[in-house]
Chains A and B, each alone.
Chain A
Amino acid sequence: MNRRDFLKGTIVVIAGAAVPLSSLEFFDPCEVLAVNPGIHWAFLVDTYKCVGCGFCVKACKLENDVPLEAKVTRTWVERYVYTRDGHQYVDSPDGALQGFPEPRIDMGLGEFKEIEPDNVGKAFFVPKLCNHCDTPPCTQVCPVGATYKNDEGVVLVDRSWCIGCGYCIMACPYGARYFHPVYKVADKCTLCYHRITKGLPPACVEACPFGARKICNIQDSNDPVTRLILSERVGILKEEFGTRPQAFYIGLTAEVR
Chain B
Amino acid sequence: MIEQLAQQAMAVPGEAWTTKELFVLPNEYIYWSIQIVMYPFMTGLVAGAFVLSSLYHVFGVQRLRDIARFSLVFSFALLPVAMMPLLLHLQQPLRGINVLMTPHFTSAISAFGIVFLTYGSIVASELWFVYRRHFVLTVRELAARKERSGFAGFRLLFFKILTLGAMDISPAALDKDHQACKIMAAIGIPVACFLHGYAGFIFGSVKANALWMTPLMPVIFICSAIVSGIALCILSYVVIQAIRRLRARREMTARPAGAGGAPAVEGLQEATRQEVMLVSNYLLYFMIAAISLEILDLIFRGYTQVKSWDILRQVIMERDFTKIFILQYGIGNLLPFVMMILPGRTVRRTAAASCLVLFGVFMMRWNVVIGGQAFSLSFAGFMDYHLPIIPHNIETFKEGLFGALLVIITPFVLFYFINKIMPAFLKEEAH
Interface residues of A (CB under 8 A from B): 67, 69-73, 76, 78, 89-92, 94-95, 107-109, 128, 137, 140-146, 161-167, 169-179, 181-182, 184-185, 240-242, 257
Does B180 reach chain A (CB closer than 8 Å)? no
Known A-B contacts A173-B207, A173-B377; A164 and B26 likewise in contact (beta carbons under 8 Å): no
A69, B11: Cα distance in complex, Å? 9
Measured in the bound complex, the distance between the Cα atoms of B26 and A95 in whole Å is: 6
Flag if B14 contacts A165 (CB, 8 Å): no
CB within 8 Å of A: which B13-41 residues: 13-15, 19-29, 31-32
A73 touches B107 (CB 8 A): no
Q: Is B12 an interface residue (CB 8 A)?
A: yes
> Does chain A have a CB within 8 A of B196?
no
Residues of A within 8 A of B21 (CB): 107-109
Which among A71, A175, A179 is the interface contact of B91 at CB below 8 angstroms? A179
Q: A73-B27, A76-B26, A108-B23 are in contact. Are A141 and B92 (CB under 8 A)?
A: no
Check A161 against B12 for contact (C-beta < 8 Å).
no
B405 sits at the interface (CB 8 A): no
For A144, give its contact among B20, B27, B98, B378 (CB under 8 Å): B98
Bound complex: CA A171 to CA B32 (Å): 12
Q: What string of 1s and 0s marks CB contacts (under 8 Å) between B307-344 and chain A?
A: 10000000000000000000000000000000000000
What residues of B have a CB within 8 angstroms of the CB of A182 in the complex? 10
Q: Considering only CB atoms, which chain A residue lies closest to B210 in the complex? A: A173
Residues 152-183 of B contacting A (Cβ, < 8 Å): none
A144 adjacent to B26 (CB under 8 Å): no
CB of B359 within 8 Å of the partner chain: no
A92 to B198, CA, bound (A): 37
Inter-chain contact B107/A141, CB cutoff 8 Å: yes
- Contact assessment for A108 and B95 in the assembled complex, using a CB-CB cutoff below 8 Å: no
Whether, in the assembled complex, B149 has its beta carbon less than 8 Å from a beta carbon of chain A, the answer is no
Beyond A179-B31, A182-B10, 19 extra complex contacts between A and B, CB < 8 Å: A69-B10, A70-B11, A70-B12, A72-B26, A107-B21, A140-B106, A143-B99, A163-B95, A163-B98, A165-B90, A165-B91, A165-B109, A173-B208, A173-B377, A177-B27, A181-B11, A185-B92, A257-B378, A257-B379
Cross-interface CB contact of A175 among B12, B28, B96, B112, cutoff 8 Å: B28
Q: Knowing A143-B103, A184-B92, A185-B92 touch, does A170 contact B206 (C-beta < 8 A)?
A: yes
Q: Are A179 and B20 in contact (CB under 8 A)?
A: no
Q: Which of A76, A89, A175 has the most CB of B within 10 A?
A: A175
Q: Give the shortest distance, in Å, between A69 (CB) and chain B (any CB).
A: 5
A167 in complex: contacting residue of B28, B98, B107, CB < 8 Å: B107
| Contact string against A for B residues 94-126, beta-carbon threshold 8 Å, 1 for contact and 0 otherwise | 011011001110111110100000000000000
A145 touching B6 by the CB < 8 A rule? no
Residues of A within 8 A of B91 (CB): 162-166, 179, 184-185
Those of B41-100 within 8 Å (CB) of chain A: 86, 89-92, 95-96, 98-99
A59 to B202 alpha-carbon distance, docked (Å): 36
Instruction: Let me know if B13 and A141 touch, CB within 8 A.
Output: no
**Whole-angstrom distance between the alpha carbons of A173 and B376 in the complex?**
10
Complex contact A144–B23 (CB within 8 A)? no
Shortest Cβ-Cβ A-B pairs, 4 listed: A164-B91, A145-B104, A175-B25, A143-B109
- A163 & B90 in contact (Cβ 8 Å cutoff): yes
* Chain A residue nearest in CB terms to B96: A163
Bound-state Cα–Cα, A78 to B378, Å:
11
Tell yes or no: B381 within 8 A of A by CB. Answer: yes
By the criterion CB–CB under 8 Å, are B95 and A67 in contact?
A: no
8 A Cβ contacts from B116-162 to A: none
Asked if B209 is at the interface of the complex by the 8 Å CB criterion, the answer is: yes
Given A143-B104, A163-B90, A164-B92, also A108-B20 (CB < 8 A): yes
Check A170–B104 contact: CB distance below 8 A: no
Q: Which residue from chain A places its CB closest to the CB of B377 in the assembled complex?
A: A175
Tell me if A174 and B104 are in contact (CB < 8 A): no
Chain A residues with Cβ below 8 Å from B106 are 140-141
List chain B residues, Cβ under 8 A from A141.
Answer: 106-109, 205-206
Cβ of B288 within 8 Å of any chain A Cβ, yes or no, is no
In the docked arrangement, what's the CA distance between A7 and B205, Å? Answer: 66
User: Would you give the shortest CB distance from A186 to chain B, in whole angstroms?
Assistant: 8
Q: Please determine whether B102 and A145 come into contact, CB atoms closer than 8 angstroms.
A: yes
CB-based contact B99/A144 at 8 Å:
yes
CB pair A170–B209 under 8 Å, yes or no, is yes
In the bound assembly, the distance between CA atoms of A171 and B202 in angstroms comes to: 10
Query: Min CB distance, A155 to chain B, in Å?
Result: 14
Distance from A189 Cβ to chain B, minimum over Cβ atoms (Å): 11
Q: Is the CB of A72 within 8 A of B102?
A: no
Alpha-carbon distance A204/B28, docked complex (angstroms): 21
Contact between A166 and B32, CB atoms less than 8 A apart: yes
Residues on A with beta carbons closer than 8 Å to the beta carbon of B112: 143
Q: Are B27 and A108 in contact (CB under 8 A)?
A: no
A161:B25 contact, CB within 8 angstroms = no
Using known A-B contacts A108-B20, A178-B12, A181-B12, determine if residue A144 contacts B102 with beta carbons closer than 8 Å: yes
**B-side contacts of A171, CB under 8 Å:** 206-208
Q: With A90-B378, A141-B106, A175-B27 as given contacts, are A181 and B13 in contact (CB-CB < 8 Å)?
A: yes
B298 at the interface (CB under 8 A from A): no
Among B13, B96, B110, B208, which residue has the most Cβ atoms of chain A within 10 A?
B208
Residue B413 at the A interface, CB < 8 A?
no
In the bound complex, residues from chain A placing their C-beta under 8 Å from that of B208 are: 137, 170-173, 241
B7 engages A69 (CB within 8 Å): yes
Q: How far is the CA of A91 from the CA of B22 in the complex (A)?
A: 8
B380 at the interface (CB under 8 A from A): yes
CB distance from A144 to the nearest CB of B (A): 4
Complex CA gap A73/B10 in Å reads 13
- 21 A-B contacts (beta carbon < 8 Å): A73-B26, A73-B27, A76-B26, A78-B23, A89-B23, A108-B21, A109-B19, A109-B21, A143-B110, A145-B104, A161-B95, A161-B102, A163-B90, A163-B96, A163-B98, A164-B95, A166-B89, A170-B209, A172-B208, A175-B27, A240-B307
